[in-house]
Structure formats: C-alpha cells, structure tokens
Amino acid sequence: MNETHFGFRTVSEEAKSSLVRGVFDAVASKYDVMNDAMSFGMHRLWKREFVSGVDMRPGLRCLDVAGGTGDIAFKLLKRGAEHVTICDINDKMLEEGRRRADDRNLITGIEWLCGDAEALPLPDNAFHLYTIAFGIRNVTHIDKVLSEAHRVLRPGGRFMCLEFSQVKSETLARFYEAYSFNVIPKIGKAIAGDSAPYQYLVESIRKFPGQERFAQMIRDAGFSQVRYTNMTGGLVAVHSGYKI
C-alpha cells in the first residue's frame, strides 16, 4: 500500500482523496468568508494579480482546475476570455460556484465539470490556458496533475499556478508560522464551526514544495520557459510555463 501525507498525517494514497473531499465538503459554504478572514482579504489581491498576468487574446479558451467556487473563472471572463471550463473534484464546491454565477447572471461562456485533476475527463490539446489557484497542494500526485495540464493544453498554451509557497523573510516566516497554527484553526472554529479542516489546510501548505523544487517539477512535466514570481514575500507564488 502506497502512502502519502494528509497534512502532517501519513495516510494511504487511496484514503487521501476522500479525506480532502471531506475537508472541502465541510468548508464549501463558508469558503469565501473564511478566505477573507484568514488572509485579511489578501487572497482577493493575489487572485487579481494572478489573472492580470494572463495574456488575453480573442477566442481564449481556459481551463480552471480546482476552481469550484468560480473566483478565477469569473475574473477571466471579466477580462475577456471567450470560454472557461471549471473542473473540480468536489460537487459541493461546484454547487457554490454555480450559485455565485447565478447571482452574477453569468450564463454563457462558462462550463462546470466534476473531475479529477490527475485524470481530466477532457481531450488532448483543447485549451489555450490552464489555471489552478490554491488547489494543487491538495492532490495526491502533483506530477500527474502537471502531466495532465500539459496534455490538455494546445501547443503554445500556458500553465499558470497560484499557490502558497515558502516565505523568504525570517521575521515574516515566524509571524506566519505562529498565526497559521495558533489563530487560523480558531477562526475556522468560530466562523465555520469546525477547526479540523483549517488545521489540515495550514499543514498542507507546509508540505508543499518550495519555489525552486516546484518549478523543476513543472519543467519535468514538459513545460518550457518556466518561471515564478513571489508575492507578499513568498507567502504565495505564481508559477507558469508554456507547452511548446
């Protein structure tokens, strides 16, 4: 039996996906409220900056993976993307995204798909852009996700990932460590009624590869011109690469 991590716990690979699904089932209805509370609203600025880096052009077809609540997709459509397919493994997150789309009267140019990032139910060479924001650290096999991203992109297509990373400032790192483990689970308990999902989310950040290691994983998946940009001192980073 192959093992992997679920936060700081060691679990079987077979168990991890159901455990992660349980986390996001628990947080779906409070996802945006908790993101605002945990990040002091910074997640909105990070996502806005992330989408501003997209090379917009007529007819752009995008795939947003692990994007169930629609945050990235809505911003892509607002910037001029022709069509965005949102793929998420979690039905409750997709339900929340559809509700938010209805509230915004977003009917055309958007598709909702329940699927696994490690085995996308999509054809080869189908998209100009693949985005994933704060989702890839929750998968079991990062290499499979990157391979699938490469497969579904057209030649010349771009992979873009926004994810928590390694803080570069020692002072900020100490504050972030204390805040993450001592405060965020308590916020989760107060707002969402359960601290356990947020304890996992904090731990999952610590287990995710640092900037250079993740960049090499993207190269190993076949992408070229791989680069990354730190935001907020490396608290989060945008990684990107092209399928040549």
In eight-state DSSP terms, residue 119 is B
Residue ranges in the chain assigned as alpha helix (H): 13-27, 31-39, 42-52, 71-79, 91-103, 142-152, 170-182, 184-192, 196-207, 211-220
Predicted TM-score (pTM) above 0.85: yes
CB neighbour class for 190 (10 Å; exposed up to 12, middle 13-18, buried from 19): exposed
More confident residue, 80 or 34: 80
- The pLDDT value recorded for residue 86 is 98
- In angstroms, how far is CA 177 from the centroid of its own chain? 21
Q: How far apart are CA 202 and CA 200, in angstroms?
A: 5
pLDDT category at 223 given cuts 50, 70, 90 is: very high
Tell me how many domains the chain contains: 1
Compute the average pLDDT of residues 210-232. Answer: 97
pLDDT category at 1 given cuts 50, 70, 90 is: low
CATH number at residue 192: 3.40.50.150
104-118, 146-160, 181-195, 216-230: least confident range = 181-195
High-pLDDT (> 90) share of the chain, %: 64
Residue 201 region by backbone torsions, left for phi larger than 0, else alpha for psi between -120 and 50, else beta: alpha
Are the C-beta atoms of residues 101 and 70 closer than 8 Å to each other? yes
What is the residue range of 189's domain? 3-242
Q: How far apart are CA 57 and CA 126, in angstroms?
A: 16
More confident residue, 19 or 47: 47
Neighbour count for residue 206 (Cβ, 10 Å): 15
The first and second tokens of residue 108, run together, are 């055309």
pLDDT category at 13 given cuts 50, 70, 90 is: confident
Could you report the per-residue pLDDT of 61-100, keeping only the tens digit for each? Answer: 999 999 989 999 999 999 999 999 999 999 999 999 999 9
- The pLDDT value recorded for residue 88 is 96
